[in-house]
Amino acid sequence: MAIISTAGLARSFSTKRGTVDAVRGIDLTVRAGEILGLLGPNGAGKTTTLRMLTTLLAPTGGAATVAGFDLVREPARVRRRIGYVAQAGGVDPQLSVREELITQARLYRLTKAEAALRAEELAHDLDLSDLLDRACVTLSGGQRRRLDIAMGLTHHPEVLFLDEPTTGLDPGSRAGLWDLVRRVRDEHGTTVVLTTHYLDEADELSDRLVVVDRGVVAAEGTPAALKSEYGGSPGASLQDTFLAITGRAPAPDDAIPVAV
Ligand SMILES: Nc1ncnc2c1ncn2[C@@H]1O[C@H](COP(=O)(O)OP(=O)(O)OP(=O)(O)O)[C@@H](O)[C@H]1O
Ligand SMILES: [Mg+2]
């Protein structure tokens, strides 16, 4: 069953210097319970796509359903069923970790007692229990990232969108996050859509990859299928495969024009 389905999803921005076509038409189908890795060079349109799918940004073209509801006509219904961890985290530095988690749970209408319990559960799952009474402002980058992710999971979303969740995490925390993503999917059937620039992570974690380039889907398939098709063999590196798809490989005889 498709839990996300988009057709020609597009977003342009008007700027003083003209129109930026950030996303030019994305066709995407994501199955329930799938872990989908969204790859693409800087500026490809990944964050813009996630911001549309999470109802934070209105599309300027195309259509999409998320968790069974129309993105544009039923945004509130979509919002209740999804969690979103933005590329730049959004915690309030004045609050303690516990207060931040409880506030988030209260936003989702949990009672005070339920919210306090959920804060403890999430802290346990994301290895934040020892930090519950610390002010958010004192957290390290990786600890903050774990808090962002805990907040995205507060209401047991059907679909979890993670924009570069492991940027800035140490190798141990990164491995811990991979385990967590798998556990959330395996135990709750949660669908996960994540972006990353770490190709080892994409390879390890994703059931399927979608490579976005210049605002459109340039390639999609399982990591093995993409490697065979674009990298030359199932044993090719995802790095070479990615470079073959996006054409960003160094090519002395075929210089790529620099975008201005
Ligand atoms: N509010 C905006 N106004 C104008 N242009 C924008 C706006 N938001 C995004 N863009 C442009 O849209 C394009 C896609 O940006 P987006 O953030 O979606 O890329 P991305 O794939 O997430 O990149 P990265 O890997 O660097 O995070 C970029 O050229 C960006 O400059
Ligand atoms: Mg981005």
* pLDDT digits 0-9 by tens, 47-83: 999 999 999 899 999 999 999 999 999 999 999 999 9
Task: State the pTM of this model.
Answer: 0.90
Q: Choose which residue among 11, 24, 48, 213 to substitute to test ligand 1 binding: the one with the highest number of ligand atoms within 8 A of its C-beta.
A: 48
Q: What is the location of CATH 3.40.50.300 in the chain?
A: 1-81+157-169+189-260
Q: Is 80 exceeded by the pLDDT of residue 257?
A: no
Ligand number, closest to the Cα atom of 48: 1
Question: Which pLDDT value is given to residue 160?
Answer: 95
Distance 56 CA to ligand 2 centre (A): 14
- What is the location of CATH 1.10.8 in the chain? 88-156
**Mean pLDDT of all residues belonging to the chain:** 90
Fold of 88-156: Helicase, Ruva Protein; domain 3 (1.10.8)
Vertex 30 angle, CA 28 and 33, to 5°? 170
Protein residue with its CA nearest to atom 12 in ligand 1: 22
pLDDT in tens, 149-183: 899 999 999 999 999 998 878 888 888 889 889 98
Domain 1-81+157-169+189-260: CATH architecture, name and number where available: 3-Layer(aba) Sandwich (3.40)
Digit-coded pLDDT (tens) for 192-227: 999 999 999 999 999 999 999 999 999 999 999 999
146 vs 13, which has greater pLDDT?
A: 13
